[in-house]
Amino acid sequence: MQDFLRRFARNQAAIVGVVILLVVIALALLAPVLYPDSPWDMVTEPFLAPGADRAHPLGSDMMGRDLAAGIFHGARVSLMIGIVATLVALAVGVTIGAIAGYYGGWVDNVLMRVTELFQTIPAFIFAIVLVSIFQPSVTSIVLAIGTVSWPPVARLTRSEFLTLRSREFVQACITIGMGDLRIIVLHVLPNALAPIIVTGSLMVATAILTEAGLAFLGLGDPNVMSWGTIIGAGRDVLRTAAYVTAIPGIAILLTVLALNLVGEGLNDALNPKLKNR
Amino acid sequence: MASPILSLAELAMHFPTPAGLVRAVDGVSIDIAPGETVGLVGESGCGKSTLGKTSMRLTRPTAGSIRLEGHEISDLSRSALRPWRSKLQMIFQDPYASLNPRLTVGRTLEEPLIVHGRGNAAERRDRVRWLADKVGLRPEALQRHPHEFSGGQRQRIGIARALALEPKLVICDEPVSALDVSVRAQVINLLMDLKRDLGLAYLFISHDLSVVEHVSDRIAVMYLGKLVEIADRHTLWTRPQHPYTQALIAAVPVADPSHATDRRPGLVEGDLPSPLDPPSGCRFRTRCPIAVAQCAEREPPLRPLASGHFVACDRVAGT
C-alpha cells in the first residue's frame, strides 16, 4: 500500500489529475453552501457576460440563470451520475466476467455471447434508446449508462479470471475443499482488482461524457441541472453567447482529463512492471 | 501390505483438445500404504503431474477408480468430497504461484481450518503457530505476505498449509524442482522429518530420479501415461528391468561410488512421442534399444517379475 502511494505520487500528471478532481469534488460539496437556491432560478438579467458582475462571476444564460450556480450544482449531478453508473456497470460486469472466467466451458460461452450481443449496439445510441423508452430521470440515465458500459468490464474480468483460475493457489483452494463463492470472492477477485479499478476510473469519465451527451440532446433529467443540460440550453445561442456552452464544456473537459490522468496513474502504480515503457 | 490409504485402479485422464484427445494418464494402478513414500518418476510430459492432480480430484477422471481408505472418491461431487479432502493434501511445484499473493502467511494457513470449521479463532491461531513452528517458520512470518519470502521459505509455507488438516497422504508434485539446489536438501529433509513425526504417506512426483531414490520406499516409473515399472527403491536402483528405467538410471550422474553398478550403458534418444497419438503396442518401442517387431503389436501389461517388482515389457525374461 505504501509502495503503491509512493509510485503514484511520483507520477506528476496523476497528481495534477487528483488536484483537479479534488476541485470538482469541492465544487460539488460547496454547491448548497454557496448557491443555496435552485440553479434554475432567474437571478439576474439574461446574457450577462462572465466577469461583468461580481455577484455572478461566470455570467448568466439567456434566461438570466447564474452560470456559476449551474456549474456548482452540475458538478454534483455529473459526478454522482458518473460514479453510480460506473458502480452499476462494475457490479454487472465483474459478476458476469467472474462467473464466465471461473467456470469456463458452456457457462463462459453463453455469457460471452450475451456480452457480445450488448457490444454490437453502439453504446451512445443504445443509451439514447433506453432513456427514451424509460423517460429521462436520474435513475433511468444511471441504469442506461450502466447497461451500455458493463461489457468491457465483463471481458476484462473474465480474462483476469481465466489466467488466475489456473494458478496453483486456486488449485490449492480446491484441494482444501473451499467452495466456489469463497474462492472467487476471497482469493481470485482481490488479485484481479488492479486492472478493474483502472478501468473503473476511466469509465467514470466516459459516463460523465455520456450523461452530458444525453442532456445535450434533451434527454437529461428535467429536474436536475447537469453540465450537459447547460450546454444543451446554450447551443441555441452558440454564435452570440458562446461562453454559455464553453464554460460547462471546459468543466467537462477538465473533469474527464483529470479522471484519465488518475486512471493512467493508477495503472502505472498498480502494475509497476509496466512502468517506464 | 496393510490396507492402502490410496488405491488407484486403471485410472485414466484424457483431455479433449482441438488437436485431438490427449491421453495424459491412460490406465494407471497403484496402491500407497499408510506411512509409505511412493516415488513417481518420468520425463516432463509423461503425465505424472496429471496423475497427481487427478488423484487429488482436481479433475474428474475419465475412467478408473480412486479409493481413499477404501472409499470410492472418483465420482464424488465437490461438496461430497469436502470431508475427504482433509485426508489427502497436496504440495505444489511452483512456490511462487501456489500462494495467494494478497493474503498474509497466517491467513493462508488459517484458510483450511476456517473452511473445515476447525476450532474457534483462538484455537486456530494456536494451530497456525504450531504449523509454522513445525516447518521452521518464525512466528513473525505469519504477519507477512508471500512476496517477502524466498522460494525455499515459500515452499515451507506450502507444506504447512498441506499439513493444516492433518492429512494421512500428501501428494508432492515436484516439490523441490523449482528451488535452488542449495535449499532442495533442506526442504527434502523437512519432508522426511515430517513424515517420521506425523506418520505421513507421500506420493512423491519428480523427474529427478536421484531425489526420488533418496526419499522413496517404492518407485514407480511412468512413460507416456502408463506405468512401465514398479519396485522397491533398492531393487529398482540396482536391478532395473525395463529398458526405459535402465536408461533413466544411466542418465543419473553418480556422486556415490557405492551406487555405481554394472548397468547397461545407453541413453534414450529423441523426444517423448506425442500423447495425442501414442505408438501402437508398447509405447516405448520407438525409443527402445531392444525393441523388436512384435512390440508394435501388443501393449505389454504390467506383470509381476518378483515380489513387489512389476514390469511392463515383453522382452524382459519373466520368472
Q: For the residues of B121-133, what is the DSSP string, one character each?
A: HHHHHHHHHHHHH
> Contact at 8 Å (CB) between B239 and B232?
no
Any A CB within 8 A of B184 CB? no
Task: Find all residues with CB under 8 Å of A85, minimum gap 6, and list them.
Answer: A141, A142, A143, A145, A146, A149, A207, A210, A211
**Coil, strand or helix: which one is B18?**
coil
Residue type, A86: T
Task: Find all residues with CB under 8 Å of A112, minimum gap 6, and list them.
Answer: A100, A155, A158
> Contact at 8 Å (CB) between A9 and A251?
no
Question: What does the alpha-carbon distance between residue A88 and residue B305 come to, in Å, rounded to a whole number?
Answer: 68
Q: How many CB pairs under 8 A join A and B?
A: 60
Q: CB distance A175–B85 less than 8 Å?
A: yes
Mean pLDDT in each 10-residue stretch from start to end of chain A (277 residues)? Answer: 82 92 92 85 81 81 85 92 96 96 94 94 93 92 95 96 92 93 94 91 93 89 88 86 90 94 88 54
Q: How far is A173 from chain B (nearest CA, A)?
A: 8
| Domain assignments of chain B as residue spans, ordered by start | 6-87+167-264, 97-164
Task: Find all residues with CB under 8 Å of B67, minimum gap 6, and list them.
Answer: B4, B6, B7, B8, B9, B73
pLDDT tens, A72-95? 999 999 999 999 999 999 999 999
Q: Does domain A2-31+72-271 have CATH number 1.10.3720.10?
A: yes
Q: How far is A171 from chain B (nearest CA, A)?
A: 7
User: How is residue B253 annotated by DSSP?
Assistant: P
pLDDT tens, B182-239? 899 999 999 999 999 999 999 999 998 889 999 999 999 999 999 999 999 999 999 9
Question: What does the alpha-carbon distance between residue B269 and residue B292 come to, in Å, rounded to a whole number?
Answer: 17
**Coil, strand or helix: which one is A129?**
helix
Give the pLDDT of residue A276. Answer: 46
Any A CB within 8 A of B80 CB? no
| Domain assignments of chain A as residue spans, ordered by start | 2-31+72-271
Q: CB distance A172–B98 less than 8 Å?
A: yes
pLDDT tens, B90-105? 999 999 899 999 899 9
If pLDDT is split at 50, 70 and 90, which confidence band does B178 have? Answer: confident
Any A CB within 8 A of B87 CB? no
The dihedral of CA B246, B248, B249, B253: what is its sign? positive
Written as nine digits, the cell of B214 is 533418496
Question: What does the alpha-carbon distance between residue A45 and residue A62 come to, in Å, rounded to a whole number?
Answer: 8
> How many C-beta atoms surround the C-beta of residue A166 within 10 A?
10
Task: Find all residues with CB under 8 Å of A104, minimum gap 6, and list them.
Answer: A162, A165
Q: How far is A6 from chain B (nearest CA, A)?
A: 18
pLDDT tens, B50-106? 999 999 999 999 999 999 999 999 999 988 999 999 999 999 999 989 999 989 999
Instruction: Residue A192: list chain B partners with CB under 8 A.
Output: none
Four-way CATH pick for B6-87+167-264: 3.60.40.10, 3.20.20.70, 3.40.50.300, 3.40.50.11540: 3.40.50.300
